[in-house]
Amino acid sequence: MHDLREAGAKAARIMADHLEGVAERPVWRPVPDGELAWLTGQELPETGRALDDLLEDAREHVLPYPMGNGHPRFFGWVNSPPNPAGVLVEPLAAALNPSCAGGDHAGPHLERTVVRWLAGLVGFPHPPGGGLLTSGASMATVICLATARQQAALADGWDAREEGLSGRPPLVMYVTEEGHSCLHKAAQLLGLGSRNVRLVPVDGAYRMDVRALRAMIAEDLDAGLRPFCVAGSAGTVNSGAVDPLDDIADVAASYGLWFHVDGAYGALGVLAGGAAPHYAGMERADSLALDPHKWLGVPVGCGCALLRDPAAARAAFSLVPSYLVDENAGDLGWFAEYGPEQTRPFRALKTWATLSYLGRSGVKGLVEHTTGLARTLGEMIEAAPDFELLAPVTTSITAFRHTPRAGALPREVDALNRALPVAVQARGNAFLTGTRLGGRDALRTCILHPGTTEQDLVVLLEEIRLAAKAL
Amino acid sequence: MHDLREAGAKAARIMADHLEGVAERPVWRPVPDGELAWLTGQELPETGRALDDLLEDAREHVLPYPMGNGHPRFFGWVNSPPNPAGVLVEPLAAALNPSCAGGDHAGPHLERTVVRWLAGLVGFPHPPGGGLLTSGASMATVICLATARQQAALADGWDAREEGLSGRPPLVMYVTEEGHSCLHKAAQLLGLGSRNVRLVPVDGAYRMDVRALRAMIAEDLDAGLRPFCVAGSAGTVNSGAVDPLDDIADVAASYGLWFHVDGAYGALGVLAGGAAPHYAGMERADSLALDPHKWLGVPVGCGCALLRDPAAARAAFSLVPSYLVDENAGDLGWFAEYGPEQTRPFRALKTWATLSYLGRSGVKGLVEHTTGLARTLGEMIEAAPDFELLAPVTTSITAFRHTPRAGALPREVDALNRALPVAVQARGNAFLTGTRLGGRDALRTCILHPGTTEQDLVVLLEEIRLAAKAL
């Protein structure tokens, strides 16, 4: 084990070197051909290699080619830098290497704590057993919607797990045009069908038009369909818009629909001073998806599904006949009874470490710092004649576009903004991505890095200008 | 960052201390009440805590309460000890912290390599893009069966993703009574319905009765149902039985069914000398699930779905309209188009490190060492008057029972063997679990630890005898 001891110390040094130097290196650069050949083309060695060689390989061929999200000027998608405490405990979790399917060992017990902490942070009710960690929000969403599907079936006197959906009327769900693709993927996976996912229009701030929602439900009922679920967003990925959750909860209650909230990115935004009114009603949801690997920076992958009624998720997933239930498991049973995974990684340790390292005030501070910067960026854009803000800034996302030439045709502005993200990325000084918003090609930034400063925003806008000139 | 540098070195020491001392500590012990209160009851601190404090907490309250699978006398379920190289690179993966959804950075590129290596190890055809890493075999199975579902629908002229299953005839799949529960969970999740999962009987060696399979398919066709998939096992979890895959492939081909192989645990067993004939036909599957976090010891969670036709999985999952496809992604697109996950952790690094550390000969050696021990245990059991072997030993699983009292009634033997696993576990010197096999309560062991010796098997049988006497 001497070898492992030395190698462990070396791995820690490489890790620290990497994190220390992130800000001085390019945000991102394309993987050069020679390195691509190494990464994709190598052959499995016939005989084993030394631990030290593997670390040198990782240092030379892997760590120099990051996605970019460790850098304070990475504004792409919704990918955060890793929290140092989360990084630190990874070898401990791996050395222990439990399956957190359940059982009486540290992993599943600690998972109870972090799920409770997450629910507490966003003010969601948390009955014991009312949640579990997943690989990310996509899987959390699958769990929540599968639970909703089974509850709707049971309410109608059938069993979706046993019978399947064949021969039953379509179950219809409602999301906005701005709802995340994982909701559509989940509907397809669950056999509901994309055509039974209604796209509710949004208002000028990209929030669900609740009047339209009501009308669509009424129309589907008239047509003999079975509305079963409405999914609101607590922070869309395009603009950060938070749907009018309280109004949606009213509609869901009046029609007896499951109310799911996609808070994967934005649920923690409720912690920013003054943000609470935007989030009113989130606590009324039947289920809430919330990703610790987004705003909190818990190393990927760590999502979380929170459920108002733990028994509902168990009814949708548990395959354990009563006589086989682990006698020591207590009323809550095993985590594997609440979702599709059997062997489950020890996601709780890095989440516990991250939350403990930040503390409640640290989480709040991180959310306020990043939403504050997003607002500042919005103000800089509104003050600049060559930029246009496309949506109100509610969380830490700012959606905008570059409009350097007065009188340019709409399709020219679209083409420019469609080309800009790749051009900016290639310069290596900042990283942002594009999207479409209200039918227009847009630039968008999501600020999640605790080390990002106002000066980084100045650099970002300048990089966009420089990239546009070179196009 | 000085703090992180010191903390990283300390984390490495704690990791090495833990791994060095595993064999000298109890395999498992119940979490005492005081520690349970710490693990489940603590409150989120208001202000952040120091990295060093978190490491001390983990050392004191988490690492002493393992699941047990790091110990050479852990024979429970199918949970391996962590491979040292896999442990070592975890902080590097977390420090880089990419999402392996796709893109031009080290993570997705390295994933192409390890998936190819895994396919190559088990002799499965590997077209570029023909597989991806998942959280485990349960999710790999969901991907494979969702792909099968969509292919069956398309062959019949409809689109399961778009339409959903409502209004279409039931899709029927076939597994043996010994098939893993993840196959049933996947069928439920996908909306197929448990009642449309046929349980094919097994022969005396717990292998699929292929004549019965044919008869069941013919019967379902006569009834106007739509058989679409047959799932064989390359190593069941109860007995390690490998189904007659070549014969199943013939049946699947003759009826135009998707042929899925569950090799989560056992696919690598093909590497043992003389084992290849048992696995004949595995290479004919349309999809194969194979868990790097099982026999290889890659830290949990890491599963893998392998697909003969990459385009089929993409057709079942991709939500990216053609005009939005990443121009730099090449023909294969993004990994996120081949499964339900969007943000995907860097599972490839620990898998690459583990495979490189072992080399092909090391993987083969590990498989041969552990299957050899399982056979030895089978021989020890057959030679012992107070034990009974319940199934042939094909992989590294041995299924048996303790029969200390001659002339005991069947229900007494069942009761004893049902009680034994918990009694053995509580003694702390060995850990095994129970199951039911052929209607009888059974003990079973799965040997995955490279450090397990024949002497450990002697201890195991003696521990069972001692536990039985105390019952």
Strand boundaries in A90-239, DSSP class E: 131-134, 171-176, 197-200, 226-233
- Note whether A105 contacts B167, CB cutoff 8 Å: no
Strand order in the sheet with B433-437: B387-389, B397-402, B440-446, B433-437
Q: CATH says B93-354 is which class?
A: alpha beta
Q: Which of residues 15-34 of A touch B (CB under 8 A)?
A: 15-16, 18-20, 28, 30-31
Q: What is the mean pLDDT of residues B194-205?
A: 97
Instruction: Tell me whether B139 touches chain A (CB under 8 Å).
Output: yes
Mean pLDDT of chain A: 96
pLDDT higher than 60, residue A1: no
Q: Is B259 helix (H, G, I), strand (E, B) or coil?
A: strand
Nearby residues of B186 by Cβ (< 8 Å), 6 or more positions away: A340, B138, B141, B142, B145
- Is the pLDDT higher at A139 or at B323? A139
- Least confident range of A1-5, A391-395, B234-238, B381-385: A1-5
**pLDDT score for A169:** 93
Q: Are B211 and B202 in contact (CB under 8 A)?
A: no
**DSSP letter string, A233-287:** EBS-TTT--B--HHHHHHHHHHHT-EEEEE-TTTGGGGGSTT-GGGGTTGGG-SE
Nearest-CA distance from A184 to chain B in Å?
9
Kindly identify which residue of chain B lies nearest to residue A346, measuring between CA atoms.
B300
Q: Which fold has domain A92-354?
A: Aspartate Aminotransferase; domain 2 (3.40.640)
What whole-number distance in Å separates Cα of residue A401 and Cα of residue A442?
5
Q: Give contacts of B9 with chain A, Cβ < 8 Å.
A: 9, 12-13
pLDDT in tens, A152-180: 999 999 999 999 999 999 999 999 999 99
**Tell me, what's the pLDDT at B323?**
44
Is residue B215 within a helix (H) or strand (E), and if so which, with residue range?
helix B210-222
Quote the DSSP letter at residue A35: H
Q: How far is CA B85 from CA A18, A117, B89, B303, in A?
A: 19, 33, 7, 17
Q: What is the DSSP letter of A353?
A: H
Asked if B298 contacts B81 with a C-beta cutoff of 8 angstroms, the reply is: no
Distance CA A289, CA B418 (A): 39
Across the interface, whether the CB atoms of B54 and A104 are under 8 A apart is answered: no
Q: Among A171, A299, A358, select the one facing B94 at the smallest CB separation.
A: A299
How close B381 gets to chain A, by Cα (Å)?
A: 26
At residue B91, does pLDDT exceed 70?
yes
Look at residue A465 and tell me whether its pLDDT is greater than 90.
yes
Confidence category of residue B1, pLDDT binned at 50, 70, 90: low
pLDDT score at B327 = 61
Tell me which residues of chain B, numbers 430 to 469, contact chain A at a CB-CB cutoff of 8 Å: none
Nearest to B85 by CA among B114, B122, B54: B114
Contact B63 A12 (CB under 8 A): no
pLDDT at A320: 72
Burial string for B8-20 (b: 16+ CB within 10 Å, else e) reads bbbbbbbbbbbbe
pLDDT of residue A166: 95
Whole-number Å distance between alpha carbons of A14 and B200? 53
Output the DSSP codes for B384-435.
Answer: -TTEEE-S---SSEEEEEE--STT--HHHHHHHHHHHHHHHHHHSS-B-EEE
Q: In chain A, how long is the greatest CA-to-CA distance?
A: 74
Contact criterion met (CB below 8 Å) for B340 and B314: no
Burial of A24 (0-12, 13-18, 19+ CB in 10 A): exposed
Give the distance from residue A406's alpha carbon to the nearest chain B alpha carbon, in angstroms: 28
- Please compute the mean of the pLDDT values over residues A366-392 and round it to a whole number: 98
Chain A stretch 94-113, residues whose beta carbon is closer than 8 A to a beta carbon of chain B? 94-99, 103-107, 109-110, 112-113
User: A interface mutation test: which of B4, B22, B44 has the most A CBs within 10 A?
Assistant: B44
Span A286-322, pLDDT tens digits: 999 999 999 999 999 999 999 999 999 999 999 875 4
Query: Can you tell me the mean pLDDT for B333-349?
Result: 96
Note the pLDDT of residue B227.
98
Task: Return all residues near B345 (Cβ < 8 A) that are at least 6 apart.
Answer: A135, A299, A300, A301, B93, B99, B100
The CA distance from B427 to A103, in Å, is: 16
Is B15's CB within 8 Å of A7's CB? Answer: no
Contact B431, B30 (CB under 8 A): no
Q: Decide: A186 and A142 in contact? Cβ < 8 Å.
A: yes
- When pLDDT is cut at 50, 70 and 90, the band that residue B328 belongs to is low
- pLDDT digits 0-9 by tens, B426-438: 999 999 999 999 9
The ipTM estimated for the assembled molecules is: 0.97
- Give yes or no for residue B210 having a pLDDT over 70: yes
Burial of B52 (0-12, 13-18, 19+ CB in 10 A): middle
pLDDT tens figures, B265-315: 999 999 999 999 999 999 999 999 999 999 999 999 999 999 999 999 999
The pLDDT assigned to A2 comes to 67
Q: What is the pLDDT of residue A325?
A: 53
The CA distance from B287 to A202, in Å, is 41
SS (H, E, C) B269-300: HHHCCCCHHHHCCHHHCCEEEECCCCCCCCCC
Cβ neighbour number for residue A362 with a 10 Å cutoff: 21
Binned at pLDDT 50, 70 and 90, residue B63 comes out as very high
Q: What is the pLDDT of residue A326?
A: 64
Domain boundaries, chain A: 2-67, 92-354
Q: Which residues of A touch B167 (CB under 8 A)?
A: 166-167, 170
Of the candidates A421, A439, A471, the residue with the CA atom closest to the CA atom of residue A27: A421
Local confidence band at A327 (pLDDT 50, 70, 90 cut-offs): low
pLDDT at residue A323, rounded to an integer:
44
Q: Report CA torsion sign: B355, B358, B363, B366.
A: negative
B31, B117, B163 ranked by CB distance to A44: nearest: B117
A238: pLDDT strictly greater than 70: yes
Q: Is B86 helix (H, G, I), strand (E, B) or coil?
A: helix
Q: Please say whether the beta carbons of A38 and A61 come within 8 A.
A: yes
pLDDT in tens, A130-143: 999 999 999 999 99
- pLDDT at B329 > cutoff 80: no
User: In chain A, which among 315-374 make CB contacts under 8 A with chain B?
Assistant: 317, 319, 327-328, 340-346, 349-350, 353, 355-362
* Predicted local confidence at residue A30, as pLDDT: 95
Using one digit for the tens of pLDDT, what is the confidence trace for B13-62? Answer: 999 999 999 999 999 999 999 999 999 999 999 999 999 999 999 999 99
For chain A, the first-to-last Cα distance in angstroms comes to 56
Give the fold, CATH level 3, of B2-67. Answer: dopa decarboxylase, N-terminal domain (1.20.1340)
Buried b (16+ CB within 10 A) or exposed e, B320-351: beeeeeeeebeebbbbbbbbbbbbbbbbbbbb
Contact B263, B235 (CB under 8 A): yes
Mean pLDDT (chain B) is 96
Find the mean pLDDT for residues B385-410: 96
Read off the pLDDT of residues A329-372 as tens digits, 9 standing for 90 and up.
788 999 999 999 999 999 999 999 999 999 999 999 999 999 99
pLDDT of B331 reads 87
CA nearest to A35 within chain B: B106
